[in-house]
Structure 1
Amino acid sequence: MKRTFFLAFTLLWSLLLTATALPQGEAFGPVRSAIRGSNSHDLAQYFAPTVELSFDGDKQSYSATQAEFVMKDFFAKHSPASFDFIHYGGSNEGTPYAVGKYAGKDGAYRMFVKMKQAGGALRIATIDFTKE
């Protein structure tokens, strides 16, 4: 009985360690795909209940639904010619973030995306676009 418990505990612990050791950028894969495709609906699937959006320093907080419409409008006005994340990191508290380069047809933007734990999963808390 002790051996079975020990084996089950070891297996569970190994799975948890493996899950937390995923590369930081892996959490941003679906986000990257949604941005590349200028798909605000797919992007909104990863929004926290409240999202802070910033465009050249003009910051506002939105509900996930409102943020979806704001991003839809942004994509319509500034459709991406190319997009990719160029840096991934995390705060001391473990909050993951990514910095990207968003090249729209009307200019380039530096993009910052920060995620946080919400509802047991990583969700987008902040998106910041700064025109270069």
Structure 2
Amino acid sequence: MKSYILSIAFIFICISNSLGKDLIAELSGQFRQGNAKEISKYFSPTVNLSILNDNNVYSKVQAEIILESFFKTNSPTGSKIVHRLDSNPNYQYAVIELNTIKGYFRVSYSIKINDNQAQIVEIRIEKAIN
């Protein structure tokens, strides 16, 4: 009887884990589409934003405008996750390669979980070195 209950509990845990969304993959897709509005939905109230050599802390609204400007100048054509760290339940980190009409960029972003809400606290966009 114990093994039966444990088996059911294990199956339930596996199913519930598989139903949770993959935020890193979702954000990678939003970068691929150049969708600053959707990305900004996950911004914390202030975001450390570094695009090329411009690094500053911006409000959520300012960061969205700056990111949108980057996408207008560098229209994305594709993205690929090259590194991800998501083993900590309160912190996630990802690095993606962003293909644009003007070349390749390395994008990294940090996500903290506050009160069960994922918030992007930092985005860095650098020219990729091939």
Please, what TM-score do these two structures have when normalized by structure 2?
A: 0.76
Which one-letter code corresponds to 2:119 in the other structure? Answer: R
Equivalent residue number for residue 106 of structure 2:
110
Residues 110 and 122 in structure 2, CA contact (< 8 A), matched pair in contact too: yes
Equivalent residue number for residue 43 of structure 1:
39
Cα offset for 1:91? 7.9
Identity of aligned residues (%): 26
Cα gap change, 1:48 to 1:105, in 2 (>3 Å): same
Equivalent residue number for residue 64 of structure 1:
60
Q: In structure 2, what is the Cα distance between the partners aligned to 1:54 and 1:90?
A: 22
Q: Where does 1:1-132 land on structure 2 (aligned, <5 Å)?
A: 26-90=22-86, 94-132=90-128
Residues 98 and 112 in structure 1, CA contact (< 8 A), matched pair in contact too: yes
Alignment size in residue pairs: 121
Q: Unaligned stretches of 5+ in structure 2?
A: 1-5
Cα offset for 1:94? 4.5
Residues 48 and 118 in structure 1, CA contact (< 8 A), matched pair in contact too: no
Cα offset for 1:18? 5.8
In the TM superposition, structure 1's runs of 4+ consecutive aligned residues that sit over 2 Å from their partners are: 17-22, 90-94
Residues 44 and 119 in structure 2, CA contact (< 8 A), matched pair in contact too: yes
Q: In structure 2, what is the Cα distance between the partners aligned to 1:114 and 1:95?
A: 7
Residues 80 and 96 in structure 2, CA contact (< 8 A), matched pair in contact too: yes
